[in-house]
């Protein structure tokens, strides 16, 4: 087990949050249960931090993250294109491994800079596909009750950026059902998705799209642009001039979570005043946990 103290901004791709955390990284289930015995309340679960907004907390917050090199990064082939995958695997890493074994389905999601566990927790999606469409089974651990947690496809519970995973459940692994492909073709699709994102996504430290789309035909970016949000800023954070549903950390230096929240609230208010629509943030806020 690895335990360290750091600041929130080191755990967030947006470099946000000046508060201090105690980061627990268990290498296996035994270590995870030791952590739960050591602390008084369930720690906040984080993954790669690609849609996480840290906090400016004055007291040290316990945080749990599955390390990349652990038993939680397993890849086990159960059938021709059915795999048990550890939650610590990155989506891109998983897509490449599966493509090399002649199995496809993750290429549309390969550009999402997060882990499998994080993608499952929010039902990540891109290019008209959501991770939930591939999931047959999930196994996790209930941190509050300190006991196993399981989910099977027939239980349902998925929605747009919503999953059946409760807040205090740490996903350990999932069984994905994919389909046979030619390795070269799938690899080309993965590369094309990475290139597309490189061309379309604004440069600089970010946490990805800020708001959910109200509907497929009414994207948040268009509403935000119509409301004049491009270029708005608070502290270290600014709405991109390239994409109105995207906030960047100007200069990449650590910034206050409060400044980020003020900017997000300003964007929401402008859209509400201009169109009457309420936008809902896609991000996970540490101080809302």
pLDDT given at position 47? 94
pLDDT given at position 216? 83
71-185 in CATH: which number? Answer: 3.30.465.10
Where are the domains positioned within the chain? Answer: 2-64, 71-185, 203-288
pLDDT, tens only, 98-117: 999 999 999 999 999 999 99
Token couple for 144:
């509050």
Which residue pairs, CB below 8 angstroms and at least 24 apart, start in 227-230? Answer: 227/267, 227/270, 227/271, 227/273, 227/274, 227/275, 228/270, 228/274, 229/266, 229/267, 229/270, 229/271
Q: Please state the rounded mean pLDDT for residues 34-61.
A: 94
Is residue 37 predicted with pLDDT exceeding 70?
yes
- The Cβ of residue 269 has, within 10 Å, a number of other Cβ atoms equal to 13
pLDDT, tens only, 184-195: 999 999 999 999
**Nearest one of 56, 47, 40, 50 to 23, comparing CA atoms:** 47
CA 279 → CA 4, 38, 202, 211, distances in Å?
36, 39, 21, 6
Is residue 68 predicted with pLDDT exceeding 70?
yes
Residue 84 appears among annotated catalytic residues = no
**Nearest one of 13, 9, 140, 124 to 63, comparing CA atoms:** 9
Q: Please state the rounded mean pLDDT for residues 216-244.
A: 96
Q: What is the chain's mean pLDDT, rounded?
A: 96
Residue 271's pLDDT band, with cuts at 50, 70 and 90, is very high
**Nearest one of 70, 14, 19 to 44, comparing CA atoms:** 19
pLDDT given at position 289? 63
C-alpha 271/C-alpha 256 separation (Å) is 24
Residue 209 appears among annotated catalytic residues = yes
pLDDT, tens only, 120-163: 999 999 999 999 999 999 999 999 999 999 999 999 999 999 99
Q: Please state the rounded mean pLDDT for residues 3-18.
A: 97
- CATH 3.90.78.10 matches 203-288: yes
Token couple for 99:
């493509």
Q: Which helix (H) or strand (E) holds 226?
A: helix 220-226
Residue 177 appears among annotated catalytic residues = no
Catalytic residue among 209, 236, 240, 261: 209
Class for the domain spanning 2-64: alpha beta
CA 281 → CA 149, 247, 251, 267, distances in Å?
27, 12, 23, 10
């Amino acid at each position: 087990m690895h335990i360290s103290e750091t600041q929130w901004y080191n755990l967030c791709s947006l470099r946000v949050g000046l508060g201090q955390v105690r980061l627990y990284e268990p290498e296996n289930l035994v270590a995870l249960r030791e952590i739960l015995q050591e602390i008084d309340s369930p720690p906040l679960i984080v993954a790669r931090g690609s849609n996480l907004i840290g906090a400016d907390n004055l007291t040290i917050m316990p945080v749990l993250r599955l390390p990349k090199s652990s038993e939680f990064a397993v890849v086990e082939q159960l059938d021709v294109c059915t795999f048990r995958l550890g939650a610590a695997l990155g989506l891109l890493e998983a897509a490449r491994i599966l493509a090399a074994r002649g199995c496809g389905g993750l290429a549309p999601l390969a550009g999402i800079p997060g882990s499998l566990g994080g993608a499952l927790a929010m039902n990540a999606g891109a290019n008209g596909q959501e991770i939930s469409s591939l999931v047959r089974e999930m196994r996790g651990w209930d941190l509050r009750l300190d006991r196993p947690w399981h989910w099977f496809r027939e239980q349902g519970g998925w929605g747009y950026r919503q999953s059946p995973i409760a807040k205090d459940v740490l996903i350990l692994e999932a069984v994905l059902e994919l389909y046979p492909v030619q390795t070269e073709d799938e690899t080309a699709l993965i590369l094309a998705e990475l290139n597309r994102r490189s061309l379309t996504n604004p440069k600089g430290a970010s946490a990805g799209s800020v708001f959910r789309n109200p509907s497929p035909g009414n994207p948040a970016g268009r509403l935000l642009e119509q409301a004049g949000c491009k270029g708005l800023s608070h502290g270290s954070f600014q709405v991109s001039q390239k994409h109105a549903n995207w906030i960047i950390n100007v200069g990449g230096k650590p910034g206050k979570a409060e400044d980020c929240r003020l900017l997000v609230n300003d964007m929401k208010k402008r859209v509400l005043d201009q169109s009457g629509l309420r936008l809902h943030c896609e991000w996970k806020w540490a101080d809302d946990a």
